[in-house]
Amino acid sequence: MATNRIAHYQYGSLYVDGVDLMALSDEIGTPCYVYSQDRAVDNLRSLQKAFPDAEIHYSLKANANLALVRTLVDSGAGLDAVSAGEIYKGLQAGVDPNMIVFAGVGKTEAELKYALDVGVGWINVESGLELARLARLAGQLHKKPRVALRINPDVKADTHQYIATGHAAAKFGISLAEAGELLEKYADSDEVTVEGIHIHIGSQLGTVERTVEAVQTVLPLFDQHSSLRALNIGGGFPVSYTGDDVPEPAAFAAALEPIFANRRLHLMIEPGRYVVADAGLLIVEVQYIKPSPAGVIVVTDGGMTELIRPALYGATHDVMTLHDPASAEYTNSQVVGPVCESADVLRNDVTLPTLQPGDRLAVMDTGAYGAVMGSNYNARPRPPEVLVEGDTWRIVRRRETWEDLIALERNIT
């Protein structure tokens, strides 16, 4: 996905679609998250066009805001969940439970029972012990779930080590050899129907070749086991955070098409980041400007409690001012947050207009792994989330209060 900003300058102010972000943040305060409904749906449509015959399950871990998820479900997406909580949220967003894929490496008995009770469409199993547990529970509950085995294809993706999931040392999935043994063992099972293979080698995949390699690695299982009918290739479709060229979903589809041409496979994909990353931004307000040897340090009211990606992954997000900087002077800047950690940096080494306290900034492309990874560290209430629809907007998650910070605590005295 090449950089194509949802934000643009109009009448001297930064807009998302038809909404003035200065006016919006005047009303609800900062920090705050803003999402473009139109952009998220457009991104989903791009995937539907690239993979017209695939079943698309949006990955809730990227952004589980109910209003945004409901929009995607209404636009034809199923959901990929990695916890019982995500299953619950997906159901609250109106998804058909049969369109939920339940994945995750550490499912508890309680979570598996819940998935069986609500009737999720698929359960992706990551170990022989998990499959045995699932079969036992399914027998007790008189259910027979569809199961996909997650394979670790031992393919190293060209991405950050924390989001590479398909190499041999990763905690995810099982080997091809173990998969073959499990397929034989459960071929005639009365408790589970093992008819799918699942792979996901990582996020932010910089090339299509590693995905092709992973798919080719698991295809022999389909030749050896006629019970297999579905292949879930996961997600990983990349987003360009800083303008670099990255492969579009159509490039992945084109590379895979010859492989699938003579096979009757039910194809599934699990995009998350690609759908929502560039559909969101985080608005913060400048509190202080401090001199530094390299320029200035811009201290804002938002930081790693709102957006942990820079601290966790060294991620880079572009920053824009909410006022049009057309005629401004520029300064080398480091944008930081208020949290008591040296890692609390939103952007290093960025050239910005000369700023003053009270100015506001938009941290771009934060719709994925932004608010959903937020925390209350330093007893900071989490920010509101706003959904923009054309020239209107609504708060779809309110700002937390100090009272919310202690609402779950008990036996204080």
73-104 per-position pLDDT tens digit: 999 999 999 999 999 999 999 999 999 999 99
Provide the annotated active-site residues. 340
Per-residue pLDDT, averaged over 119-142, amounts to: 98
d(CA 18, CA 2): 22
Q: Please give the angle made by the CA atoms of 192, 195 and 196, to the nearest 5 degrees.
A: 120
pLDDT at position 1 is: 44
pLDDT at position 14 is: 98
Please list the helix, strand and coil fractions of the chain in percent, rounded to the nearest 5, in that order: 30, 25, 40
* Sign of the C-alpha dihedral computed for residues 19, 24, 30 and 34 taken in this order: negative
- Domain positions in the chain: 7-35+277-406, 103-271
Q: Residue 277's closest CA among 235, 228, 330?
A: 235
**Amino acid sitting at position 237:** F
Q: Which residue has the tokens 């050239």?
A: 351
pLDDT digits (tens, 9 = 90+) for 373-407: 999 999 999 999 999 999 999 999 999 999 999 99
In the predicted structure, residue 165 carries a pLDDT above the cut 70: no
DSSP code per residue over 78-112: EEEESSHHHHHHHHHTT--GGGEEE--TT--HHHH
Label residue 156 by pLDDT band (50, 70, 90): low
pLDDT digits (tens, 9 = 90+) for 22-70: 999 999 999 999 999 999 999 999 999 999 999 999 999 999 999 999 9
Q: How far apart are the first and last CA of the chain?
A: 54
d(CA 144, CA 47): 31
In the predicted structure, residue 206 carries a pLDDT above the cut 90: no
Bridge partner list, 362:
283, 320
Which CATH topology does 103-271 take?
TIM Barrel (3.20.20)
* H or E element in which residue 252 lies: helix 249-260
Q: Which long-range contacts (CB under 8 A, 24 or more apart) does 288-291 make?
A: 288/357, 289/355, 289/356, 289/357
Which CATH topology does 7-35+277-406 take?
Lyase, Ornithine Decarboxylase; Chain A, domain 1 (2.40.37)
pLDDT at position 262 is: 86
322: left (phi over 0), alpha (psi -120 to 50) or beta: alpha
* Sign of the C-alpha dihedral computed for residues 327, 333, 334 and 337 taken in this order: negative
d(CA 335, CA 237): 28
Of 52-56, 188-192, 204-208, 308-312, least confident by mean pLDDT is 204-208
Label residue 2 by pLDDT band (50, 70, 90): very low
Per the CB < 8 A criterion, the answer to whether 239 and 273 are in contact is: yes
Query: Tokens representing 15?
Result: 């807009």
Mean pLDDT, rounded, of the chain: 94
